[in-house]
Amino acid sequence: MGRYIARRLIYLLVVLFVVSAITFGLMHAVPGGPFDREKALPPEIIENLNRRYHLDEPLLMQYGRYLYDVFIPRISATPPKGSVDDDFLITVKLGNVWFKWMNFGPTYSSRSRTVNDIFRQQLPVSAQLGIMALLVAIIIGMPLGILAALKQNTIFDYLGMSVAIFGVSVPVIILGPIMIWIFGVTLKWFPPTGWGAKPPFVLGIFPRELGPEFFRYAIMPSVALGLGSSAIIARLTRASLLQTMREDYIRTARAKGLRESLVIVRHALKNSLIPVVTILGPLFAALVTGTFVTEVTFGIPGMGRYFVTSITNRDYPVIMGTILLYALILVIANLVVDIVYAYLDPRIRYD
Amino acid sequence: MRTKVWMVLSVLLAVAMLLAACQPATPTPQVIIETVVVEGTPRVVVATPQPTQPAEQRKVLRLAWGPGDIPTIDTALAVDVISIQLIDSMTVGLTRQNEQTAELELAMATEVKTSEDGRTYTFTIKEGVPWVRYNGKEVEQVLDCDGNPRYVTAYDFEYGILRTLSPATASDYAYVLYGIEGAAAYNQGETDDPSTVGVKALDEKTLQITFIEPAVYNLNIAGLWVAHAQPKWIIEGDDCTEGRGERWTETGFYQGYGPFTLKEWVHDSEISIVKNPFWPGDAVVPSPKIDEVHWSLIDTSAALAEFEAGNLDVTGIPTGDIDRIISDPKYQDMLRDTYTLGTEFYAFNTTKAPTDDVRVRLALALSVDQEAIVKNVIKTGSPAHWFTHPGVAGAPKPEKFPNLGVYYDPDRAKALLDEYLKEKGLTADQLDITLMFNTSEAHKRKAEAVQAMWKEVLGINVKLTNQEWKVYLKQRVAGNENIYRGSWVQDYPDANNFLREVFADNNGTPGAYQDVVNWPVAESEDGRIVYTPGTNPLYDKFVELVLAAAKETDPDKRMQLYAEAEKILVVDAAVIVPLQWYASKILVSPRVVDTPSITGYDRYEKWDIKS
């Protein structure tokens, strides 16, 4: 297993490299640049801006510069200045020297910030929301799916699947404002918008205070975001469990006289979880890196917005940063999913 | 056995949590980043927790803007409305535009003398205005290396203008200062000697600015945010201050001197500015009555919800909610009009058939019913009949020029088109015209409305096509279609910024839309319009009028000159179809005493909150 994981991690580097090359090529191939405005700037001003951000260099050199800044660690005798150009994600002091690694570059659309600032200040908010939404999705989705499968073609099944269909068909863009209207504006149970934690975050991700105030802000968006995913999980759990129940080994288990509850829990459920776990990987990556609509609807300062606006703004370093981050989380989540397979299905071996 | 299921579930949850904990943005030792040295004093700058409201109510004005972060509050780099709004609240220019009358007033300058040739202005700077910053508890004066307060001087203004113009700063808006002598050459790297720029601090309280040509709007430009004083020590560093470069605008570092100063800026989330008690209030820029202005950076729909829940004092209204809000009696007293000094229009490509013929262009323009579009489709703005927004200085006012520009006139439109069709031996449905706009639901609705009007009045089937914003900007210049959507919002509130800077040559810099409309000619070399004067009499006359207006000091004559130029632009040459002058509705809570602005910028130092 250890060797398997090591091999996968090496693949990860290859994947990131390929993703970065494709993204870099595509974003520069799209017409338009970061400094194209409604009011076209004079060419000299654009030249100044291009020079400031090294966009006047040949593309290959720009790409090389990017890889160098992101992947190659630096060692310096002076502490980092923390300026826009000298901002590293990882800065460690070892004796008298400073070890600096990963500079994802500046953002063109917010001149006093860097992509690293977005990772430090916006990513944790998105991750907090994403994890809570995923919990909501699992807690609602799995029991609903199991119930529907076990009571197939009964009122429970129809009711459960109706809820699931509702969850899939009502997007956050509808559900969000309705929830805000009912629980935020009318009943005043929750604050209509906002997020209950702000930077700096503990360990780069957790809110400093995990009190009721945090959850007051988090409940509405987590439910709104998680409901759609819970529907997917419920339907998948139901379908998978129904299929498993028809397997020979279930018949065998029943034939040897096992109690029905044992048959379901020990034999059917565990085996039916594989497809569910499979989608949890990508789902996790998607939820944790931020979701544009939920964040805009609920006024949450997460990073979902940057996936969209960086492309419309041609904010090259942010495009690269967000896509590499997404790729990284997706690959790691899939790796974890593969490891969980081995536990769920003893026939799966990676050695 | 049931425990086994729960084990599986909890393993899943644990994995989820674990993944989150070891996500790639490996936690940086936060202390390193957050501990900073401000003028020799170690200080941990942590975003301050929301202070608990003391017993006597602090007056906090709660606003919203967004969604998304405020692009910058750096004096030299700002380009958009909210950035400029914040900068104007935290620093003050030599001159300042009155938000209610749109007139220019002296602000940081107490006196201005103009030279004989009208090009050189000598400003006397207001004395006793200290630089301040918020130290986490209160606003304090900034001290120099000897421990004395730093006061705003002419040198700070000189530095501000030169920093904006320095090519290394790479300021988008440096070009607005190109009217200053030597500014363009310095900004374009032709010389690296800043002393060639026509800005000189003669002593601590005297600043001299020399412009290329005498013009009415020079004083306007001298007061723009890009020409405000800037604190050199915190940007570049000095003996006792660590230079912060572009990061000087962050919480804990920002220094200003205006009626408010920065308290806290949590990116993407909120920004608040507090009253600067050291600002010596006067009639133009009084000392604020409110203690704090707080912006939540949220979407307009979210802001309206917060307003309805009683958590905001001012909110915009999303298009979808306009009808509901306007018809609700409880909101009647809270509704206000707010203006953005800008215009939306359709620009003709004057070199592609059939819009290369002025009769076709005018026929299309005359069949657009601006009143109907604004009332039924846009719902907020006001119908525009010429280009320049009437709110800017020098612009023709509708009350004085009730017949200026293009108005819906189907009969005349049809006659013009028939004449053209007869000459060419065509029928209306044979005309191949395409209108292109940048992808947006709102722009699509407007385009469809206009498309229907053209079909109904002229019988022309105009095709619609759209493109993503940045691609659109490129294609608009390439000019493969006949009609393009356009909009223009003021850089500084003067008609010169509309007519001359958009459609005429400016000392070698082409007007912003000249390469879209290809008027007077299509050819251009590296962004420069190649035009032989005398070949397009209408354009020559237009240029003559806007140049004369730039120098005209009599307001009535000036307005008359611009009115004549407008007539050439929208009627005689019919280069554009004006659609709307931007305006929108906002809701203001009854507890707020506001001074409604016609300029698009609010002066919160004049606002109050009823206790």
Q: How far is CA B458 from the centre of its chain?
A: 37
pLDDT tens column, B455-472:
999 999 999 999 988 889
* Winning range, highest mean pLDDT, from A100-104, A206-210, B236-240, B575-579: B575-579
pLDDT tens column, B382-414:
999 999 999 888 899 999 999 999 999 999 999
Residue in chain B lying closest to A299 (CA): B298
- What is chain A's mean pLDDT, rounded? 90
Tokens of B401: 């020029």
Distance, CA of B318 to CA of B303 (rounded, Å): 9
User: Can you give the pLDDT at residue A267?
Assistant: 86
Read off the DSSP letter of residue B387: S
B26, B171, B246: residue with CB nearest A84: B246
User: Can you give the pLDDT at residue B31?
Assistant: 32
Distance from CA of B156 to the nearest CA of A (A): 21
Each domain of chain A, given as residue ranges in start order, spans: 73-107, 115-344
User: Can you give the pLDDT at residue B474?
Assistant: 87
User: Can you give the pLDDT at residue B49?
Assistant: 41
Strand order in the sheet with A97-101: A74-76, A97-101, A90-94
The closest of B396, B404, B476 to B436, measured between CA atoms, is: B476
3-state secondary structure of B144: coil
B25, B268, B309: residue with CB nearest A188: B309
| Mean pLDDT of the region B305-321 | 92
Residue with the two structure tokens 């916006």? A122
Residue in chain A lying closest to B254 (CA): A112
User: Can you give the pLDDT at residue B153?
Assistant: 96
Q: Partners of B138 in the beta sheet?
A: none
For the domain B81-295+589-609, what is the CATH code? 3.90.76.10
Distance, CA of B194 to CA of B168 (rounded, Å): 12
Each domain of chain B, given as residue ranges in start order, spans: 1-52, 81-295+589-609, 339-584
The reply to whether omega before B24 is within 30° of 0 (cis) is: no
Higher pLDDT, B55 or A99: A99
* B248 interaction partners in chain A (CB closer than 8 Å): 112
Distance, CA of B57 to CA of A1 (rounded, Å): 63
Please give the C-alpha separations between residue B141 and each of B73, B94, B138, B144, B276, in angstroms, as whole numbers: 20, 21, 10, 10, 10
Flag whether pLDDT at B592 surpasses 70: yes
User: Can you give the pLDDT at residue B589?
Assistant: 95
* Beta strand B120-125 pairing with B206-210: antiparallel
pLDDT tens column, B284-312:
999 999 999 999 999 999 999 999 999 99
Distance, CA of A101 to CA of A132 (rounded, Å): 30
Flag whether pLDDT at B46 surpasses 60: no
Q: List Cβ<8 Å contacts ≥24 apart for B35-41.
A: B36/A82, B36/B242, B36/B252, B36/B253, B37/B242, B38/B241, B38/B242, B38/B252, B38/B253, B39/B142, B39/B143, B39/B240, B39/B241, B39/B242, B40/B240
Please, are residues A51 and B170 in contact by the beta-carbon 8 Å criterion? yes
User: Can you give the pLDDT at residue B477?
Assistant: 86
Contact assignment for B170 to A51 by CB distance below 8 Å: yes
User: Can you give the pLDDT at residue B54?
Assistant: 53
Contact assignment for B29 to A91 by CB distance below 8 Å: yes
The amino acid occupying position B500 is: R
Distance, CA of B203 to CA of B153 (rounded, Å): 8
| Mean pLDDT of the region B417-441 | 92
Angle, alpha carbons B261-B267-B268 (nearest 5°): 125
CATH class of B339-584: alpha beta
User: Can you give the pLDDT at residue B510?
Assistant: 82
B20, B69, B168: residue with CB nearest A110: B69
Please, are residues A298 and A221 in contact by the beta-carbon 8 Å criterion? yes
Flag whether pLDDT at B40 surpasses 60: no
3-state secondary structure of B578: strand
Distance from CA of A348 to the nearest CA of B (A): 17
**How many residues would you count in chain A?**
351
The closest of B496, B472, B464, B484 to B577, measured between CA atoms, is: B484
Q: Partners of B337 in the beta sheet?
A: B585
The amino acid occupying position B14 is: A
pLDDT tens column, B333-354:
999 988 888 999 999 999 888 9
User: Can you give the pLDDT at residue B56?
Assistant: 60
Report the share of chain B in percent with pLDDT over 70. 90
Q: Under the phi-then-psi rule, with left for phi > 0, alpha for psi from -120 to 50, and beta for the rest, what region is B136?
A: left
Tokens of A348: 């799966």
Which band of pLDDT confidence, cut at 50, 70 and 90, is reported for residue A160? Answer: confident
| Mean pLDDT of the region A80-95 | 85
* B172 interaction partners in chain A (CB closer than 8 Å): 35, 37, 41, 45, 49
Please, are residues A41 and A108 in contact by the beta-carbon 8 Å criterion? no
Q: Partners of B486 in the beta sheet?
A: B345
Contact assignment for A200 to B68 by CB distance below 8 Å: no
How many CB pairs below 8 Å do chains A and B form together? 249
Flag whether pLDDT at B17 surpasses 80: no
Flag whether pLDDT at B12 surpasses 80: no
Contact assignment for A112 to B74 by CB distance below 8 Å: yes
CATH class of A115-344: mainly alpha
Distance from CA of B396 to the nearest CA of A (A): 23
Which band of pLDDT confidence, cut at 50, 70 and 90, is reported for residue B47? Answer: very low
3-state secondary structure of B571: helix
Distance, CA of A28 to CA of B204 (rounded, Å): 48
Residue with the two structure tokens 């959850």? A215
Tokens of B398: 């509708």
3-state secondary structure of B17: helix
Phi, psi of B407 (to 5 degrees): -130, 155
Distance from CA of A203 to the nearest CA of B (A): 5
pTM above 0.80, yes or no: yes
Phi, psi of B151 (to 5 degrees): -105, 155
* A279 interaction partners in chain B (CB closer than 8 Å): none
Contact assignment for B8 to A273 by CB distance below 8 Å: yes
* B28 interaction partners in chain A (CB closer than 8 Å): 89-91, 120, 204
Residue in chain A lying closest to B490 (CA): A39
User: Can you give the pLDDT at residue A351?
Assistant: 65
The b-or-e profile of B265-301 (16+ CB within 10 A means b, else e) is bbbbbbbbbbbbebbeeeeebeebbbebbbbbbbbbb
Flag whether pLDDT at A327 surpasses 70: yes
Contact assignment for B470 to A343 by CB distance below 8 Å: no
Flag whether pLDDT at B513 surpasses 60: yes
Q: Partners of B266 in the beta sheet?
A: B270
Among the listed ranges A121-135, A283-297, B219-233, which one has the minimum average pLDDT value? A283-297
Flag whether pLDDT at B195 surpasses 90: yes
User: Can you give the pLDDT at residue B527?
Assistant: 59
Q: What is the dihedral of CA A330, A332, A335, A337, to 10 degrees?
A: -60
Please give the C-alpha separations between residue B428 and each of A232, B356, B449, B459, B560, in angstroms, as whole numbers: 54, 16, 19, 6, 37
| Mean pLDDT of the region A198-207 | 86
pLDDT tens column, A272-306:
888 888 898 889 988 888 789 999 999 999 999 99
Residues 6+ apart with CB under 8 A from A279: A232, A233, A236
User: Can you give the pLDDT at residue A289?
Assistant: 84
Contact assignment for B302 to A120 by CB distance below 8 Å: no
B10, B19, B191: which to substitute to probe chain A, counting the most A Cβ within 10 Å?
Answer: B19
